[in-house]
Amino acid sequence: MLDIKFVRENPETVKENIRKKFQDHKLPFVDEVIELDQKIRAAKSEGDELRASRNTLSKQIGGLMKEGKKDEAEAVKAQVKANADRLAELEKEESECAAELEKRMLVIPNIIDPSVPIGEDDSKNVEIEKFGEPVVPDFEIPYHTDIMASFNGIDLDAAGKVAGNGFYYLMGDIARLHSAVISYARDFMIGRGFTYCVPPFMIRSNVVTGVMSFEEMDAMMYKIEGEDLYLIGTSEHSMIGKFIDTIHEEESLPYTYTSYSPCFRKEKGAHGIEERGVYRIHQFEKQEMIVVCKPDEAMEWYDKLWQNTVDLFRSLDIPVRTLECCSGDLADLKVKSCDVEAWSPRQQKYFEVGSCSNLGDAQARRLKIRVRGKDGEKYFANTLNNTVVAPPRMLIAFLENNLNEDGSVDIPEALRPYMGGTEKLVPAE
């Protein structure tokens, strides 16, 4: 959510930003916000004047009564009553206008960074850099669920009967590999100075609206019926929520956390054949990283975060690339974002395995996460997040890039301690 003062003083900048995000239907909101803001300030100003006159008029009534001027006192009482009635009207108007203003402010997108490429959708995202050499072996690579099935490692049919489409059973070596990747990612991030955390897996509605846009909430979140609770779509939600309505001394920043959680997502809409199996699912596990920092350090942390993911994937012999998200592909709260994509030898292309985002002070403003500077002045923190690793999608890249012609899968050296020293997985007979 933007600062109302910024919108008031820079309406054309806000409108141009909306155009860059191809959300022209939101343009009228800017003028509506400014009009509502004017009404709120006018109501507040008049209300303050009425409150200030209340004591003066009350003293007049007492003085007039002492002087025996009852009629004049009654006239002043009538004025006090009229002022009280008017004040009640103003307070109601101010409250109603404030609610309408917030409703519009919550859907006006954050100001994107000047470096963000302009484009309407993800087809206009821009490749930044490749890491590792993409390899296409001279043997056919099966679909990822077929690879898993060769190890008796997956059962989609049973999961469908138990929970429906979008769920899975992982078993045996594949389940162990899944857990090993999560554990390795945890220790990898601890080694980079991040504090490990396991957060709540449900959050209240005020946290939901603090960390994401309404569009994202509707597309992602599962609501717990009868309670003010939602299942998290990523641990970033509850980790940023941890700081709600807090003030932090400037010298205590930055806060750097790596958090584990299951994630639950509706994943609405139809998807292509390459997104079946365990690519796009309703439940998965993820290791995340989040940073709460000073505004002038946000871009430096942004580069550190996506680099962490690149380094982790390269340590597991998986080629990756970074892709800059264009303006139309950015969620409303984001200032800048890039995807990390892993190489798929079977498809001979890259696919998304993680996303790094700088949200500026948007989440902090909504959740009231403030910093007290050395001069005593308070300002809003900046927040960032990035995927460390999210199996089972990451397992697709891992299995394809480490598969041998005989169907076995090599275990990179970095992962072997988490697999009991195993160097190679061999298919079931």
- Give me the CATH number covering residue 405: 3.30.930.10
CB 185 within 8 A of CB 259: no
Residue numbers of the domain that contains 348: 122-425
* Residue 372 and residue 239 share a domain: yes
- Whether 267 is covered by a domain: the verdict is yes
CB-neighbour burial class of residue 179 (10 A; exposed 0-12, middle 13-18, buried 19+): middle
* pLDDT bracket for residue 13 (50, 70, 90): very high
Instruction: List the CATH number of the domain containing 76.
Output: 1.10.287.40
Structure confidence at residue 57 (pLDDT): 75
pLDDT, averaged across the chain: 93
Q: What is the mean pLDDT of residues 320-348?
A: 97
d(CA 199, CA 289): 12
* Residue 14 and residue 146 share a domain: no
* Residue 235 and residue 282 share a domain: yes
Structure confidence at residue 361 (pLDDT): 97
Last residue of a domain, one of 47, 78, 105: 105
Q: Is the pLDDT of residue 73 over 80?
A: no
* Residue 143 and residue 60 share a domain: no
The CA-atom distances, in angstroms, between 207 and each of 244, 245, 288, 289, 371 are 8, 11, 18, 18, 19
* Residue 165 and residue 286 share a domain: yes
Total domain count for the chain?
Answer: 2
Q: Is the pLDDT of residue 273 over 80?
A: no
d(CA 292, CA 257): 9
Q: What is the mean pLDDT of residues 94-116?
A: 95
Strand partners, 386: 289, 356
Q: What is the mean pLDDT of residues 88-107?
A: 94
Q: What is the pTM of this model?
A: 0.90
Q: Is the pLDDT of residue 191 over 60?
A: yes
Q: Which residues contact 161 (CB under 8 A, 6 or more apart)?
A: none
d(CA 218, CA 360): 23
Pick the range with the lowest mean pLDDT from 4-8, 65-69, 401-405: 65-69
* Residue 197 and residue 64 share a domain: no
Structure confidence at residue 392 (pLDDT): 87
* Residue 99 and residue 136 share a domain: no
Provide the percentage of residues in the chain whose pLDDT is more than 70.
96
Last residue of a domain, one of 105, 140, 171: 105
* Residue 81 and residue 26 share a domain: yes
Task: Give the residue from 340, 312, 306, 304 showing the smallest Cα distance to 183.
Answer: 312
Task: Give the residue from 220, 216, 218, 252 showing the smallest Cα distance to 233.
Answer: 220
* Residue 156 and residue 9 share a domain: no
* Residue 68 and residue 146 share a domain: no
Q: Which residues contact 111 (CB under 8 A, 6 or more apart)?
A: 2, 13, 14, 17, 335, 360
Q: Is the pLDDT of residue 76 over 80?
A: no
* pLDDT bracket for residue 268 (50, 70, 90): low
Q: Is the pLDDT of residue 417 over 70?
A: yes
- Whether 117 is covered by a domain: the verdict is no
Collect contacts of 16-21 with beta carbons under 8 A, ≥24 apart.
17/109, 17/111, 17/112, 18/108, 18/109, 20/112, 20/118, 20/327, 21/109, 21/112, 21/327, 21/328, 21/330, 21/332
- Whether 111 is covered by a domain: the verdict is no
Pick the range with the lowest mean pLDDT from 75-79, 190-194, 395-399: 75-79
Q: What is the mean pLDDT of residues 53-64?
A: 70
Structure confidence at residue 238 (pLDDT): 96
Question: Residue type at 307?
Answer: Q
Q: What is the mean pLDDT of residues 310-326?
A: 97
- Whether 322 is covered by a domain: the verdict is yes
- Whether 84 is covered by a domain: the verdict is yes
- Locate 295 and state its tokens: 């505004």
Neighbouring C-alpha atoms within 13 Å toward the C-beta of 211:
28
- Whether 110 is covered by a domain: the verdict is no
Q: Is the pLDDT of residue 313 over 90?
A: yes
Q: Is the pLDDT of residue 365 over 90?
A: yes
Strand partners, 260: 287
CB 356 within 8 A of CB 363: no
68-72, 216-220, 349-353: range with highest mean pLDDT = 349-353
Structure confidence at residue 363 (pLDDT): 97
pLDDT in tens, 159-180: 999 999 889 999 999 999 999 9
- Locate 272 and state its tokens: 């292509």
- Whether 25 is covered by a domain: the verdict is yes
* pLDDT bracket for residue 270 (50, 70, 90): very low
* pLDDT bracket for residue 410 (50, 70, 90): very high
* Residue 236 and residue 180 share a domain: yes
Task: Give the residue from 278, 343, 320 showing the smallest Cα distance to 148.
Answer: 278
CB 186 within 8 A of CB 258: yes
Q: What is the mean pLDDT of residues 388-393?
A: 93
* Residue 271 and residue 135 share a domain: yes
Structure confidence at residue 269 (pLDDT): 55
- Whether 326 is covered by a domain: the verdict is yes
